[in-house]
């Protein structure tokens, strides 16, 4: 074994013998890898080393254990799941739903509290109590306010900001009705949410209810509990992107389950009007994308009361499975087998119109030997904040940004065809990438 290989193994931690760990199996980030090597070489523990040492509880791993009340913990047998119930009468399905729901509540509470902290600062800034911050992007503030029904024409920015604060506060504290940002949900998606009764009322209300439902003797119906999980989760997780079709740009917004890959060979792709124009259905999409290594596309048709999907496959040179129509505002799971970037339908040679805020777009005309720093410099240090590109193999976002007028971070190469997320401080129209 070479010295480098030895560094990749953890053989002892603070005098205790532990399993050997190949840290390359735990991260694709070289910086993180170096840190893990250093910590292990110094003889200290990390969550990684403890996870390798810890043998999971076989009961808990099957979510067959409930400790939500003082009469437990109750232990069921996942191999014979319906032979008994918990003291309160909960089946193994109810117990699994309760355990998952408590994790949804915890994660939702964490995000809610982070957001509330930011909102507290926003409130104190517009009330004049915090002097170290100011509203710098008035155009973006007015855009967000207008998107949720706040009148902005002819009004002072401070007045708009105060109304926006009230609506943002309702996002957390409202107890009845629909969460204010439901106004930004695509109509078809909102119709589905309303049909299944999962439009959030307010984050705090949904978290409180999910904690109540999962208490002993309250909600025993696992489907009902999972439905409340959906409503709680939908109180969080939004994105706005810009897409270009026929040289006309528009802002599109929708709820995003996850912008990162869940598996190394899967990614989420938003269905924009441009994509619908590019390929009207799943078979058409596969015929265009198969050469890029795409093996299947999946659409989620329902999340409650049960998850339902439609999938089209590309095998032996032809499409098979369900040829579902593409509907703008939804999302697709894309499975592929190579590290390729997909052409989402923008012709090379077209100019890019980038709005202030987050823009996600595909482009097929990037010059050879182009990179993130070149893009940032050409857009202008005063106009652009950051650029991100998803590594489809690792599922990690590669990020370059502007700090103090200079590009910093990961100067990743941008291929001729790329899908990028660019965060703009100011709008830039008729932009053409130039050879560096």
Instruction: Give the confidence band of 301 by pLDDT, cuts at 50, 70, 90.
Output: low
- Convert the pLDDT of each residue in 103-117 to its tens digit: 888 888 888 888 888
Burial code (b: 16+ CB inside 10 Å, e: under 16) for 52-76 equals beeeeeeeeebbbbbebeeebebeb
- Convert the pLDDT of each residue in 204-228 to its tens digit: 999 999 999 998 888 888 888 888 9
| Residue where the block lists tokens 């040492």 | 53
Mean per-residue pLDDT of the chain: 76
| pLDDT at residue 409 in the model | 86
Report whether pLDDT(85) > 50.
Answer: yes
Total Cβ atoms within 10 A of residue 271: 19
- Residue 170's φ and ψ, nearest 5 degrees, are -60, -30
CA 263, chain centre distance (Å): 13
In the CATH scheme, what is the code of domain 92-233?
1.20.1270.30
Rg (CA), the chain: 25
Report whether pLDDT(13) > 70.
Answer: no
| pLDDT at residue 3 in the model | 53
| pLDDT at residue 119 in the model | 84
Report the greatest alpha carbon distance in the chain.
72
Burial code (b: 16+ CB inside 10 Å, e: under 16) for 178-206 equals bbbbbebbbeebbebbeeeebbbbbbbbb
More confident residue, 57 or 232: 232
Q: State the first-to-last Cα distance of the chain, in angstroms, to the nearest integer.
A: 43
More confident residue, 219 or 300: 219
More confident residue, 17 or 312: 312
C-alpha span between 240 and 344 (Å, rounded): 17
Total Cβ atoms within 10 A of residue 264: 13
- Alpha carbon distances (Å) from 229 to 179, 308, 371: 16, 16, 41
Cis peptide before 73 (omega within 30 of 0): yes
Beta bridge partners, 17, equal 12
Give the contacts of 331 (CB within 8 A, at least 6 positions apart). 254, 256, 257, 268, 269, 270, 271, 299, 300
What mean pLDDT do residues 123-136 have?
83
Q: Where are the domains of the chain?
A: 3-53, 92-233, 238-436
DSSP assignment of 329-355, as one string?
T-EEEEEESS------SPPTT--EEE-
- Convert the pLDDT of each residue in 160-208 to its tens digit: 889 988 988 888 888 898 888 888 777 888 888 898 888 888 889 999 9
| Residue where the block lists tokens 């098979």 | 320
Report whether pLDDT(423) > 90.
Answer: no
What mean pLDDT do residues 403-412 have?
88
- Convert the pLDDT of each residue in 290-299 to its tens digit: 766 678 888 8
Report whether pLDDT(356) > 60.
Answer: yes
Q: Is the dihedral of CA 375, 376, 378, 383 positive or negative?
A: positive
C-alpha span between 59 and 125 (Å, rounded): 50
C-alpha span between 127 and 37 (Å, rounded): 49
Q: Are 235 and 206 in contact (CB under 8 A)?
A: yes
């Amino acid at each position: 074994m070479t010295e480098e290989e030895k560094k990749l193994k953890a053989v002892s931690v603070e005098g205790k013998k532990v399993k050997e760990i190949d840290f390359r199996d735990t991260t694709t980030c070289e910086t993180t890898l170096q840190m893990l090597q250093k910590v292990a070489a110094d003889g200290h523990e990390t969550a990684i080393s403890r996870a390798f040492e810890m043998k999971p509880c076989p009961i808990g791993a099957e979510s067959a254990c409930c400790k939500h009340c003082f009469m437990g913990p109750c232990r069921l047998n996942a191999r014979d799941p319906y032979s008994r119930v918990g003291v309160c009468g909960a089946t193994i399905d109810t117990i699994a739903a309760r355990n998952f729901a408590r994790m949804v509540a915890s994660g939702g509470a964490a995000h809610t509290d982070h957001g509330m902290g930011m909102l507290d600062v926003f409130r104190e800034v517009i009330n004049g109590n915090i002097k170290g911050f100011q509203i710098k992007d008035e155009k973006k503030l007015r855009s967000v306010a207008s998107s949720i029904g706040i009148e902005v024409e002819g009004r002072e920015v401070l007045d708009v900001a105060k109304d926006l604060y009230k609506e943002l506060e309702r996002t957390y504290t409202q107890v009845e009705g629909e969460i204010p940002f439901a106004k930004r949900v695509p109509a078809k998606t909102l119709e589905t949410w309303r049909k299944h009764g999962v439009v959030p009322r307010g984050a705090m209300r949904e978290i409180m209810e999910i904690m109540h439902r999962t208490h002993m003797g309250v909600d025993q119906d696992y489907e009902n509990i999972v439905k409340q999980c959906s409503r709680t989760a939908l109180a969080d997780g939004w994105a706005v992107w810009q897409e270009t079709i026929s040289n006309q740009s528009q802002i599109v917004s929708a709820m995003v389950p996850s912008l990162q890959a869940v598996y190394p060979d899967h990614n989420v792709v938003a269905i924009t009007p441009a994509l619908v124009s590019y390929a009207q259905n799943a078979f058409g999409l596969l015929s265009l994308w198969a050469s890029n290594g795409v093996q299947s596309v999946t659409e989620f048709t329902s999340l409650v009361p049960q998850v339902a999907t439609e999938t089209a496959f590309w095998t032996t040179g032809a499409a098979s499975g369900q040829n579902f129509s593409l509907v703008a505002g939804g999302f697709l799971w894309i499975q592929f087998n190579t590290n390729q970037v997909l052409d989402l339908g923008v012709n090379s040679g077209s100019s890019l119109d980038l709005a202030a805020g987050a823009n996600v777009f595909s482009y097929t005309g990037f010059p050879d030997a182009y990179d993130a720093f070149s893009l940032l410099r050409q857009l202008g240090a005063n106009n652009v904040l950051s650029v991100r590109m998803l590594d489809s193999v690792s599922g990690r976002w590669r990020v370059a940004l502007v700090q103090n007028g200079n590009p910093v971070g990961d100067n990743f190469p941008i291929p001729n065809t790329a899908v990028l997320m660019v965060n703009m401080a100011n709008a830039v129209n008729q932009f053409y990438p130039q050879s560096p």
